[in-house]
Structure 1
């Protein structure tokens, strides 16, 4: 009787591994399909006479100087850059003021308090617009403080396409990592973003909020950031509303044009994941979240499970190996895209467990030390 049960379990493990391998093959195809749907990095036919750039910043002393210098090297020069300092406790204010004293296009604004119920990032953006938008800028640009424009034509491509097509235009950046831990997490996130929510899908409603441009007409047709004041993932909320209004959204292949720095520690990555997943978690029952977590655990750990079962039945060894090879192959696309170490793809059966853990954790949302009280 026991032998029959063991044999049944071995067959089940083998079948699950084959199914899992098939899913990873689909992920590989969808990843490619998503990348092919990205717009080419070519400028539009029309160029605005000037643009306003808003950059919220909090404790960005390691990044803000590089961001400013990359903007100063752009071949599109007629911009005003407003950096809104969200009560930084590091050297961010001094760095920004130093650049502002040498470059008349740079403005510095500091805010100390965030109104209850507001997203800190959105409030900073709104304050920047209130103080420095005089209504004469045909295109508005929103850049995160850790963004680096790699090529001199990056800004021109963004603003000219937004102006030409009267659209929201974003760039798919390269995610830069300073630590191996960062690479381990970002490899998984890039893979799942393109495979599950890629731009090849008609229902896709998101863009990269770290770097985007929009015409003034479209921005205020959407209600501006004020309409999304309490959203944790404001770029997705904006994209969803834009789709309802049938507003054109373009995402450009910007891997060679722009990069943004991802979080260095696993803790920061989990906090970011909790913010990204907050809308889903808020509207999903605990039972369903547990079910999703179990599926994610099995999906990533299946090669290990099958390998353990092969100790009893060696026939499972090639099945486990194939499952692992395909899983690594899918994630290798992300490592090549972001120029990360292959190790981050090789370890995905283990590092993938961060996702189900994040789904199950229910805690205070945070962003750079600030508690978030926004609606999801």
Structure 2
């Protein structure tokens, strides 16, 4: 039974209920002061608490998509993608499955399609699964030569790419927005920034380790343009993410304006943390550490010609004051453009990001190249 399956959650909840009922029923027998009775009471209480904690943890994982499997949870995920190029000249991207857009009825030419793909970087050799949303127009004969603006969509850490589809509703939001005429049809490429699990690389080219920034800045765009009809450079590709993915989106848009025409950070932070999940990202390289610090970068490097979007809330987000400072810092560059979404209230969670995603996609659409009709 999988970590996110209904069966596992049901077993955990049922076990918690049975242990609670058993504790109530057995408590009078264990009310004595003997060592056996004390041990029995302690054992029942501990077992009930552990199972209850497990049930709550499983429910939270299903809701927020932290881990996709038991191997992912215990840091044992090692499987790498395998590239099979079926068409000469195509990029290192392999489609391994497809599915309907949740909540949308009809075939691909009516409701679009989500493809499950494996990508392996030509230069970095980083392998990562992803979901690619293709709008209905992609399959319509009259648009067979049309190119489309595209956005790379990143989760937080550790995150699961499927949560971008099932929990944050990116494909459905893009479909509904295009149908309403608020945006053009757009390709979405959804994956997590944790491309070297279980390590959190913060989208850094780690010395002697995963070259994560290069994967997102070069390998992934090359693979997408080799396989899909993505609008060309400059400005045909944007990047958006939440939390860790938001930091990555802002950093990559700043560092690579010739690749990404815009970057949106939902509930982002502005410098890479160093902790048990990241390890030593910079290996003593001060230049690399400075480059990953967006405060330092904006103060010491020429401002790139790009557009950034940041989001926060006055109550519930810990990045509120930093975001206001970041807006002022970017405005002071005189060249990089900055926009913001500031909610009155909203925590660091899916519900908050679902409230920001429609406006963020509209903002991206306005700043990306590609046909307008």
The TM-score range, normalised by the shorter chain, is under 0.3
TM-score w.r.t. the length of structure 1 is: 0.23
Structure with greater helix percent: 1
TM-score w.r.t. the length of structure 2 is: 0.24
